[in-house]
Chain A
Amino acid sequence: MIAFVVRRLLQSILVLLAVGFIAFSLFTYVGDPINNMVGQDTTLAQRAELRERLGLDDPFVVQYGRFLLNAAQGDFGISYRHRRPVAQLIAERVPATLELSLVAAALALFIGVPMGVYTGLHRRGFLSQVFLALSLIGISLPTFLIGILLILVFGVLSQDINAAIGFHLVPQLPTFGRGDTVQLGWWSTGFLTESGLLALILPSITLALFQMTLIMRLVRSEMLEVLRTDYIKFARARGLSNRAVNFGHALKNTLVPVITITGLQLGSIIAFALITEQVFQWPGMGLLFIQAISEVDIPVMAAYLMLVGFFFVVINLVVDLLYYVVDPRLRADKAVAAGHQ
């Protein structure tokens, strides 16, 4: 077990090195940061001098090497745009992204799984058909469009809609930013203020919708599969209650693929929160990254890509470890396999 974790950690370092290498080889093509850093009246000599000071004329391998060397000492450089240490910038933004991602993941799980179970059990029910139709929207509409639609309905049109139907149906919700936040040490949280919680609603729904429908459809098809198996018939034959059969036996056995997908999706929620963050001006890492791209802020881009790579690696590792917890067969197989070696 420990050997497994150590091996995976070593592999993850290789993955991160590869991510960094690819990132730096791409930075050659994203444009020249200098023109975004100086005013139009800055002379050519001053521009050239700045480029040299930042080492932008070096081949990308040299730039990458320098980045690694500094990063190994915990120094991720200074943002070209903000003129502040990148580590500090990212530390400020991580709470916003993680809070949004966690709320979105929780929404996706706690709504997606029950909906999946329900549609699996009541295949022909009217409500199931409604859920399935809605899930098509979640799967097929791109995130930014959902975000903009939500802004349109809950920000721009809510008063008109309420006026048209004559009663207060559609609440007016914040359409950008994080609302008021509270500092807990270095962590800034929006969970403790009313405006912070309200501000979470639209972005987290936007971010969760795709995952929610994915999980729902996955649970549904797994449920349908499992409900056909012999041990479910057996359980029924034993006279167990529906509840015990559905949740104790059926749902539990659908969980392995659900955990895999949810875990991987948590990584992509964090990574792809950037689109949601951009639409809602959510001050997280993704927004920082998007702005870094448009301004060619190489230190921020490099650090962000490495960090997201790191998140993926860690989440994958955790998912692999969770298998052992959920599926006893894995533990048994491993023991048997080890015994034969």
Chain B
Amino acid sequence: MFGQRVMSVRRSVLAAAAAVGIAAGGAGAAAETFKWAFQGDVQTLDPHGLFETFTLGFQSNFYEGLVTRTPDLQLQPALAISWENVEPTVWRFTLRQGVTFHNGNPFNADDVLFSVDRIRTEGSDLKVVATLIDKAVKVDDYTVDIVTPQPDPILPLQLEIFFIMDKEWSEQHGTTEATNIRGDDQGNYANLNANGTGPYVVKERQPDVRTVLVPNPDWWGDNKSNVSEGIFTPIGQDATRVAALISGDVDMAHPVPVQDWKRLEDANGVSPLTGPEARTIFLGFDQDRDELLYSSMKGKNPFKDQRVRQAFYQAIDMEAIKDKIMRGASTPSNLMFAPEINGFNPALNERLPYDVDKAKALLAEAGYADGFTVTMDCPNDRYVNDERICQAVASMLARIGVKIDLLAQTKSKYFAKVLAQNGYDTSFYLLGWTPSTFDAHNAIVSLMACRVDGKGSFNLGGYCNERVSELSDLIQVETDPEKRQALIDEASRIHADEVGHIPLHQQPLSWGVSDRVTVAQRPDDIFHLQYVTVK
């Protein structure tokens, strides 16, 4: 796959060179239009408006941060050319010179300082990034110090999605604050217009209809793509999206339902493109309450007993789920974060064996030989085949005498029920998580740490081991990579030994791609036009 891409890139470069020759030095190569579809629209063009993977990923075609990532998630320089941790709490970024925004304004340290201020404004959804930064200090026009509230060894990893806006442009158009959901039109200009430094320029924007990107001829980098116009269309219905791909109306569509892969393989001129996603799907238990909210077992909480949790774990046949539900494309996991995540240790990813007899014995030992009934909360439109996974889990648990009442509902209702705002109203649930920083700490602090001091905000079951919480704090400030890995491993090991959650798998990415193009698939489902080649 990779080799093929490299080859076609080389071929297209030659083709582009030839075309330029023929066009007597014209800026554009052969006009290649590339059309693609996603299930939803990019929700705003404001780079600080919404912390959502698809929206930020789409914006990264025209906005850039100080750092960026390659298709295989390696960190690489963007608007900063280098960075170093000059003091434990100070990161010094050397900025790229000679970069201009799409409107021609030069990029410099003032724009970085302005953007740091902007993500603190009321409407910003990047406040999480803002909390990482105490302040930004301009050293000179092309050097900025970012001061962190505490030592932060992984700050650069967390800045990919922090996009830099042009100070002058924002002031000129009255959009110095992030687009606010409530209030007047303040910020609305950036909601519908963009002025970044990235490889593409937004030429046309009709929300929910189409958004057209064209190459930025003045981009500082080397854009190898031969796409002269990228047209993005949201298509909500799976069937319509797949039909548009097969009929050639779009060149790429994502996501494609897993059950349609066969159809794409059989159809002419298109094929499915799949790969592991960096999202880990897992099950969680309420281990906090003394009596479960939704269970036949009264007066006590079986999930407080580690043996019960392990029995559930070993009763689930992940290979069957992989083969039957995920068409062989999932990656069963024993860690709460994926191989693409910084801190992943393959030695710890071996799952406990699937063993029904052992599971039954564990349940009997814990005093639940006759099993019990518990309600399972599950979304039905959030993750790949989420409801079907829950159904499979329910039937597997039935074999050890546990009866599952499955409550599968749409994501808006599911999250409203199980999240903190509703008091973690669940006994047993399925959830998925991609660390937005691509670092294990994000998963540990959000999912595994005790629910105190703002930690464990998505630890819906209230799993709590003081040492894991302590490790989370240590990992956050440890700057030595080896020591840090040891701390991450210790947290993972404790969590696995105690069966804090049941990690299931990393779900597959599922794209449909026309044979006339090659694209690069990033494990976080972000799509970059600059890696597209039209044959």
Chain A positions near chain B (C-beta within 8 angstroms): 30-48, 50-51, 53-54, 78, 80-84, 148, 151-152, 155-156, 158, 172, 174-178, 278-281, 283, 287-288, 290-291, 294-296
Known: A156-B243, A278-B236. 7 other contacts (CB 8 A): A37-B125, A42-B51, A82-B207, A148-B239, A156-B247, A175-B240, A175-B247
| A-contacting residues, B168-210, CB 8 Å | 179-183, 188, 191-192, 206-210
Question: Given the complex of chains A and B, what is the CA–CA distance between A155 and B115 in angstroms?
Answer: 46
Q: A177-B210, A177-B233, A281-B237 are in contact. Are A42 and B243 (CB under 8 A)?
A: no
Q: Which residues of B contact A33 (CB under 8 A)?
A: 412
Cβ-defined contact, B240 with A31, below 8 A: no
Q: Report how many A-B pairs have Cβ atoms within 8 Å.
A: 150
Which chain A residues border B410 with CB–CB below 8 Å?
31, 294
B residues 403-440 in Cβ contact with A at 8 Å: 410-416, 419-422, 433, 436
Rounded to whole angstroms, the CA-CA distance of A82 and B128 in the bound complex is 21
- A178–B209 CA distance with the chains assembled, in angstroms: 8
Complex Cα–Cα for A130 and B139 (A): 83
Q: Of B42-50, B477-485, B508-516, which stretch is located at the interface?
A: B42-50
Least Cβ–Cβ distance between B412 and chain A, in angstroms = 3
Instruction: Tell whether B244 is near chain A: CB-to-CB under 8 Å.
Output: yes
**Pick from A40, A78, A176, A177: contact of B458, CB under 8 Å:** A40
B→A interface (CB under 8 Å): 40, 43-44, 46, 49-52, 123, 125, 127-128, 179-183, 188, 191-192, 206-210, 233-237, 239-240, 243-244, 246-247, 249, 267, 381, 410-416, 419-422, 433, 436, 442, 446, 454, 457-458
Chain B residues within an 8 Å CB radius of A295: 412
Name, among B183, B244, B410, B442, the residue most crowded by chain A CB atoms within 10 Å (CB to CB).
B244
CB distance from A190 to the nearest CB of B (A): 11
CB pair B128 A43 closer than 8 Å:
yes
Give the chain A neighbours of B192 by CB distance below 8 A: 84
Q: How far is the CA of A158 from the CA of B246 in the complex (A)?
A: 11
Write out the residue numbers on chain B whose beta carbons fall within 8 Å of the beta carbon of A278.
236-237
When chains A and B are docked, how far (Å) is the Cα of A84 from the Cα of B191? 8
The answer to whether B415 and A83 have CB atoms under 8 Å apart is: no
Q: Tell me which residues across on chain B come within 8 A of A36, comparing CB atoms.
A: 411-412
Residues of B within 8 A of A83 (CB): 43-44, 46, 49, 123, 179-181, 188, 191
Closest to B51 in A: A39
Q: How far is the CA of A174 from the CA of B180 in the complex (A)?
A: 37
> Assuming A33-B412, A82-B43, A176-B233, is B244 touching A155 (CB within 8 A)?
yes
Q: How far is the CA of A230 from the CA of B415 in the complex (A)?
A: 68
Nearest 5 A-B pairs (CB), nearest first? Answer: A39-B51, A31-B412, A32-B416, A41-B128, A155-B247
Q: By the criterion CB–CB under 8 Å, are A78 and B209 in contact? A: no
Inter-chain contacts of B237 with A (CB < 8 A):
278-279, 281
Report chain A residues within 8 Å CB of B125.
37-39, 42
In the complex, chain B residues whose CB is within 8 Å of the CB of A280: 240
Closest to A288 in B: B208
- Pick the contact of A32: B50, B128, B381, B412 (CB < 8 A): B412
CA distance A81 to B414 in the complex (A): 19
Closest Cβ–Cβ distance, residue A43 to chain B (whole Å): 6
Q: Hey, which chain B residues are within 8 Å of A151, CB to CB?
A: 239-240, 243
For the complex, give the distance between the alpha carbons of A78 and B186 in Å: 12
Establish whether residues B421 and A42, one from each chain, have CB atoms under 8 Å apart when the complex forms: no
- Measured CB to CB, the nearest residue on chain A to B247 is A155
Q: Is the CB of A291 within 8 A of B415?
A: no
- A155, A176, A287 — which one has the most chain B CB atoms within 10 A of its CB? A176
- A-B CB contact pairs (8 Å), 7 listed: A37-B50, A38-B125, A40-B458, A41-B442, A43-B457, A46-B127, A176-B244
A172-B247, A278-B236 known; A32 vs B51 contact (CB < 8 Å): no
Q: Separation in Å of the A183 CB from the closest CB of chain B?
A: 11
Bound-complex Cα distance A164 to B44 (A): 46
Question: Which A residue's beta carbon lies closest to that of B161?
Answer: A39
With A and B bound together, what is the CA distance between A294 and B379 in angstroms? 13
Residue among B192, B237, B267 with the most chain A CB within 10 A?
B237
CB <8 Å contact, B416 and A152: no
B123 neighbours in A (Cβ, 8 Å)? 83
Give bound CA distance, A38 to B420, whole Å: 14
Given contacts A35-B415, A38-B125, contact A291 B181 (CB under 8 A): no
Q: Is the CB of B181 within 8 A of A80?
A: yes
A82's nearest neighbour on chain B, judged by CB, is: B207
Check if B243 sits within 8 Å of A41, measured CB to CB: no
In the docked arrangement, what's the CA distance between A36 and B50, Å?
A: 10
A42 to B246, CA, bound (A): 39
Partner of A39, one of B50, B180, B236, B244: B50
In the assembly, what is the distance between CA of A42 and CA of B420, in Å?
A: 12
Nearest Cβ in chain B — how far from A208, in angstroms?
A: 19
